[in-house]
Structure 1
Amino acid sequence: MEDAPRYRRVLLKVSGEALMGKREYGICTETVARIARDIAEVVELGVQVCLVIGGGNIFRGVSGAAAGMERASADYMGMLATVLNALAVQNALEKLGLQTRVQSAIPMASVCEPYIRRRAIRHMEKGRVVIFAAGTGNPFFTTDTAAALRAVETGCDVLLKGTQVDGVYSADPRKNPSATRYDHLTYLDVLARDLAVMDASAISLSRENGLPIIVFSIHEPGAFAAVMRGKGIYTLVADAAA
């Protein structure tokens, strides 16, 4: 079929900032609902979906450390912020009739499941959307790295990063209108040019495991499903032969 999805199991990384909408901080319920509808559209295609959501809309560990907090404590606060976001997205998805599970790298049994790799895979096989919260559970690692790690652990075919723009640019196109957009990059291109795709740990982990990365705009309705069909505008980060 022409519109059949290209991937069987995918991990979508969404930044905490993407949940703010036009707000300066916190969670915009309308924006979360729209993102949930895009995810539901992909699930309806028969794709197994899991998510990692950042916490920058609530608290960012690096910023806290820069303000004088001890870095590990600041990072743990950031991890807890991702749990709040995960629960918000879970609520929006379940309002659409999807079955979901939140799994946290920091155990909190009253709120969600602990992260268990085999259980997460089984959930996805049953059609449930799994939301991985609390990063890797360790300070000094970003949610980008957590996304790459969980994608590799659970056997995802591709890691998608939903961003504020429609791909990877040579500079921030919102600040530099002459910035060049790339359709395809290798992992080494990203590292050598220091492009703002994901942090170096996430790129290196993806490269070592042959995990393709697709960068697209999370703010374009229907873009997630379009990418699943190989359509729309996006940047692919993979080996040259991919």
Structure 2
Amino acid sequence: MAAAPRYKRILLKLSGEALQGAQGYGVDAEVLRTIAEEVKDVVALGVEVALVIGGGNIFRGLSAAASGMDRASADYMGMLATVMNSLALQDALEQRGVYTRVMSAIEMKEVAEPYIRRRATRHLEKGRVVIFAAGTGNPYFTTDTAAALRAMEVHADVLMKATKVDGVYDKDPHKHKDAVRYARLTYLDVLARGLNVMDSTAISLCKENSLPILVFNMLGRDNIRRVVCGEELGTLVCAE
């Protein structure tokens, strides 16, 4: 008998880089297919799923700003990249029979709905996957912060951050064989130790509103379903 889900409503944060796979740029069709199938499996459990996707596989605002571009202009370009990724994932999900809505913080009604909190909540209640695009709609805020904000606005039970490693480590596990993975951390631990979980604004938002963050490896098959069903994967960041 399949395990019952621990969470009723989740917000899944994916990096743009996760979509590029091994090709180094753009969207890898195989990665997109795998993510869509895993999300479909979770929806089949009766879990309400919202997503936020970064745009780093297409354009990184911070990198462009560091090269001399105006930061606000660079960030808006990054927001447009998240819309492209969101539309790609929407297509992959709908090809698999999953009803999906893309809601953009920047109005572009020809391709996405405008973000309206009550409408987003209603979509989730009806079993539709909601993809929040264009970050917060404001420059100087990351998609991590957008994920934390949207998770709280729609009253998600948990913010799940999918990464390429199986949790939060005291140092980079790809460079240090003796790196230690934490099973559980507090928000203050993350902020005080400068751990690479999410940016400090996102962590502070979650701390102030007691929203747990679960960091896990998205590369393992069925990992999204496994964490939703309560398996002890990754690192949990919470109040105590």
Partner of 1:76: 76
Give 5+ residue unaligned stretches, structure 1: none
1:61-119 per-residue CA deviation (whole Å, 9 max, x = no partner) reads 00000111000000000000000000000011001100000000000000110000000
- Could you say which residue in structure 2 is the equivalent of 1:147? 147
| Residue aligned with 2:140, SS | coil
Report the counterpart of residue 239 of structure 2 in structure 1.
239
Q: Distance in 2 between matches of 1:207 and 1:157?
A: 14
- Give runs of aligned pairs for residues 129-140 of structure 1, distance below 5 A: 129-140=129-140
Question: 1:174, 1:25 → 2: CA distance?
Answer: 21
Task: Note the C-alpha offset of 1:232.
Answer: 4.7
CA positional deviation for 1:2? 6.9
Tell me the CA shift for residue 233 of structure 1: 1.9
Q: Which amino acid aligns with 1:15?
A: S
Q: CA, structure 1 residues 2+26, in 2 after alignment: closer, same or farther (shift >3 Å)?
A: closer
Helix, strand or coil at the partner of 1:10: strand
Could you tell me how far 1:230 is from its partner in structure 2? 1.0
Which consecutive unaligned segments of at least 5 residues does structure 2 have? none
| AA matched with 1:226 | R
Cα deviation for residue 16 of structure 1 reads 0.1
Q: TM-score, with normalisation over the residues of structure 2?
A: 0.99
Give how far 1:199 is off: 0.2
Q: Distance in 1 between matches of 2:211 and 2:2?
A: 24
For 1:232 and 1:96, locate their aligned partners in 2 and report how far apart those are by CA, in whole Å: 29
- Match for 2:234: what amino acid? Y
Q: Does 1:204 align with 2:197?
A: no
Q: Once superposed, which parts of structure 1, at least 4 consecutive aligned residues long, lie more than 6 Å away?
A: none
- Cα distance in 2 for partners of 1:227, 1:149 equals 21
Q: Cα RMSD between the aligned structures? A: 0.9
1:160 is matched with 160
TM-score when normalising by structure 1: 0.98
- Matches of 1:161 and 1:215 in 2, distance apart? 5
My pick for the range that moved more, 169-178 or 222-231, is: 169-178
Q: What CA distance in whole angstroms lies between the structure 2 residues aligned with 1:232 and 1:36? A: 23
Report Cα offsets for 1:119-156 as digits up to 9, x if no partner. 00000000000000000000000000000000000010
- Residue matched to 2:221: 221
Determine the C-alpha separation between the residues in 2 that align with 1:123 and 1:25: 31
**1:36 and 1:232 mapped to 2: Cα distance?**
23
Structure 1 residue 169 displacement after superposition: 0.6
**Is 2:36 the partner of 1:36?**
yes
Task: Number of aligned residue pairs: give it.
Answer: 240
Equivalent residues in 2 for 1:169-208, closer than 5 Å: 169-208=169-208
Q: How do 1:8-47 and structure 2 match up within 5 A?
A: 8-47=8-47
CA distance in 2, matches of 1:181, 1:228: 20
C-alpha separation between the residues in 2 aligned to 1:158 and 1:106?
25
Query: What is the Cα deviation at residue 172 of structure 1?
Result: 1.4
Distance 2:232 2:37 in 1: 17
Does residue 54 of structure 2 align to residue 57 of structure 1? no
Correspondence for 1:97: 97
